Amino acid sequence: MPVLPGAEPFRHEGGEVGVLLCHGFTSTPQSMRPWAEYLAAQGLTVSVPLLPGHGTRWEDMQLTGWQDWYAEVDRALRELLDRCARVFVFGLSMGGALTLRLAAKHGDAISGIVLVNPANKLHDPRAFALPVAKHFIRSTPGIASDIAKPGASEIGYDRVPTRAAQSLRDFLRLVDGDLPQVTQPVLLLHSPQDHVVPPVDSARILARISSTDVTETLLEHSYHVATLDHDAERIFEDSHAFVARLAEGVGSKEAASGG
C-alpha cells in the first residue's frame, strides 16, 4: 500500500548531534514533522521513521505488533549511533513508551530523552477484554487529532485495530517494568487537558524512572498531539535547549548551540 501523502518518514543529515523522533500509535511522522524540521534547522541530524503498519490504512496495522514498531525505532537509533557523537531520543504518546524502552535497553549510548504526553497504560475500561474481543471486533473508533488549535489536524487512522491495541497494551506493561532502568536526563512535557493519555501516566513515569536530571513542563494550551498544537514552539525550543545543554561542545557550532 502507498504511504499517505504527508506521512512519509523524515531524515536530515546535520552535525554530530543526532535526534530520533518516535511518533504515536495509529499516527505518522507528520505529527513530528514541524518538530523535526525545527531541529534540523538548528544543525542537528534528525531521523523520524514511519512505524510498520502505520501511514497506509488501518487494516495494515492488524498484521503488526509492538515488536515490529520497536524494531524499527531500534534500527533507526543504531543508524544514528553509528553516525553521531551524541544521540537523543524524543517521543510522543506511544512514541514516548518506545523512547523509554530504548533508554532502558541502550543506557548511556542515549544522552537524554524528551517525552511529550507519554503513554503508560490503556485506561479504557474495555481494554481488559481485548484478548477476547480482538477475535470478534476488528476495530474501534480512532484517536487521532486530539488538538486544541483550530485548523490543525493529524494524519492518523480513523479506526484503531483491536489486534494492534492488544499488542500496545502488552507493550505498555513491559515498558512499565523497564522504567527503573531509565537513568538518562529527561525532559517531560504534558498537557493537563489530554483526551487520549491522562496526566496520571506522566506522573507514574516520573515516579518510577531512576533519572536524577528531570524537568517537567505543563503544556497548558494543548491537548494530546501537542507537537501540532498551541504549545508546539515551546516544545521545540525547550527540547533544543535541553540538547544544547547536554551536548555542549560536541560537533559543530550549529549542532551544539543552534549557531
Domain at 217, CATH number? 3.40.50.1820
214 assigned to some structural domain? yes
**pLDDT given at position 142:** 81
Residue 74, domain member (yes or no) = yes
Q: What range does the domain containing 128 cover?
A: 10-252
Q: Could you write out the DSSP letters of every residue in 188-243?
A: EEE-SS-SSS-HHHHHHHHHH---SSEEEEE-TT--S-GGGSTTHHHHHHHHHHHH
3-class SS at 2?
Answer: coil
Q: Into how many domains does the chain fold?
A: 1
pTM of the model: 0.92
Q: Residue 32 annotated as binding?
A: no
Which residue among 27, 31, 93, 202 is the active-site one? 93
Q: Which residues of 112-130 are buried (b: 16+ CB within 10 A; e: fewer)?
A: bbbbbbbbbbbeeeebeeb
Active-site hit among 146, 194, 229, 231? 194
Tell me the C-alpha to C-alpha distance, in Å, between residue 237 and each of 41, 130, 168, 240, 244: 12, 39, 30, 5, 10
Q: For the chain, how are helix, strand and coil distributed in percent, rounded to 5? A: 45, 15, 40
Count CB atoms within 10 A of the CB of residue 98. Answer: 30
Give a yes or no: residue 1 inside a domain: no
The tens-digit pLDDT sequence of the chain (259 residues) is: 799 999 999 999 999 999 999 999 999 999 999 999 999 999 999 999 999 999 999 999 999 999 999 999 999 999 999 999 999 999 999 999 999 999 999 999 999 999 999 999 875 655 555 555 555 566 887 888 999 999 999 999 999 998 999 899 999 999 999 999 999 999 999 999 999 999 999 999 999 999 999 999 999 999 999 999 999 999 999 999 999 999 987 654 444 344 3
88 annotated as a binding-site residue: no
- In a domain? residue 3: no
Residue 137 lies in a domain: yes
How big is the chain by its Cα radius of gyration, in Å?
17
Angstrom CA distances, 59 to 42, 56, 215, stand at 38, 9, 38
- To the query of whether residue 190 is one of the catalytic residues in this protein, the response is no
CA distance 29 to 241: 22
Catalytic residue among 54, 190, 224, 240: 224
Annotation says 194 is catalytic: yes
In the numeric block, which cell numbers belong to residue 224? 494530546
Instruction: In whole angstroms, give the CA distance from residue 113 to residue 15.
Output: 18
Q: Per the domain annotation, does 258 fall within a domain?
A: no
Task: Give a yes or no: residue 199 inside a domain.
Answer: yes
Residue 167 catalytic?
no
Does 149 reside within a domain?
A: yes
